Amino acid sequence: PALIILFVILYFRGAGSGAALLYVIVFVLFTSLIFFFAGMPESAPQTVAFDATVSNPDHFFKVFAIVFPAFTGMTAGVGLSGDLKNPRRSIPMGTMSATLIGMVIYFALLYKLVISADIEDLASDQLIMSKISAWGPIIPIGLACATISSALGSIMVAPRTLQALAHDRIFVLHNINKRVAHSSRKTREPVNALIITFVIAIVFVLIGDVDVVAQIITMFFMVTYGSLCLISFMEHFAADPAYRPTFKSRWWISLPGALLCFWMMFQISTLFAAVAAIVMTVLYLLIVKYNPGQMGLAAIFQGAMFQVARRLQVFLQKSRSRAVQHWRPFVICLSARSFERYDAIEMLRWISHKYGFGTYIHYINGYLSRSTRDEADAALERLVHIADISKSNVYFSIMVSPSYTTAIAQVLQLPGISGQENNMILFEYNRDQPEELEDIIDNFPLIKAKDFDILILGSSPRKFGYKREIHIWITENDYANANLMVLLAYILLGHPQWEGGFMKIFDVCSQDKIETENERLQSLIRAGRLPISTNHVELIRHNPDQPVKDLVNKHSVEADLVIVGVREEILKHQRSVDVFSGYQAVGDILFVNTTESKEI
Same domain for 305 and 391, yes or no, is no
The reply to whether 18 falls in a domain is yes
Domain boundary among 319, 344, 365: 319
Domain boundary among 279, 304, 319: 319
Residue 489, domain CATH:
3.40.50.620
Residue 439, domain CATH:
3.40.50
**Amino acid 375: pLDDT:** 95
The reply to whether 545 falls in a domain is yes
- Residues contacting 129, CB < 8 A, separation 6+: 36, 113, 139
Between CA 188 and CA 12 the distance in angstroms is 10
Helix 60-67, helix 210-238: angle, nearest 10: 90
Q: What's the N-to-C CA distance of the chain in angstroms?
A: 81
Between CA 395 and CA 417 the distance in angstroms is 8
Task: State which residues form the domain around 62.
Answer: 2-43+57-207
600 residues of the chain, pLDDT tens digit each = 677 887 887 777 776 777 788 888 889 999 999 999 998 876 777 777 777 787 788 888 888 887 887 777 666 656 666 566 777 777 778 888 888 888 899 899 988 988 888 888 888 888 889 989 999 899 999 988 888 887 777 788 888 888 888 887 887 777 888 888 888 777 677 888 889 988 988 888 888 787 788 888 888 888 888 988 998 888 888 877 777 776 677 888 999 999 999 999 999 888 888 888 888 888 888 887 877 666 667 777 777 877 887 777 777 767 665 555 678 899 999 999 999 999 999 999 999 998 889 999 999 999 999 999 999 999 999 999 999 988 888 999 999 999 999 999 999 998 887 778 899 999 999 998 888 888 898 898 899 899 999 999 999 999 999 999 999 999 888 888 999 999 999 999 999 999 999 999 999 998 888 888 888 888 888 877 888 888 888 999 888 888 899 999 999 999 999 999 998 887 766 667 788 989 999 999 999 999 888 887
**Amino acid 321: pLDDT:** 55
Same domain for 437 and 468, yes or no, is no
Same domain for 267 and 183, yes or no, is no
Same domain for 413 and 527, yes or no, is no
Same domain for 358 and 441, yes or no, is yes
Instruction: Classify 455 as helix, strand or coil.
Output: strand
Same domain for 96 and 190, yes or no, is yes
Domain count, the chain: 4
Between CA 204 and CA 220 the distance in angstroms is 14
**Amino acid 320: pLDDT:** 64
Same domain for 513 and 500, yes or no, is yes
Domain boundary among 419, 447, 475: 447
Same domain for 7 and 118, yes or no, is yes
Same domain for 89 and 170, yes or no, is yes
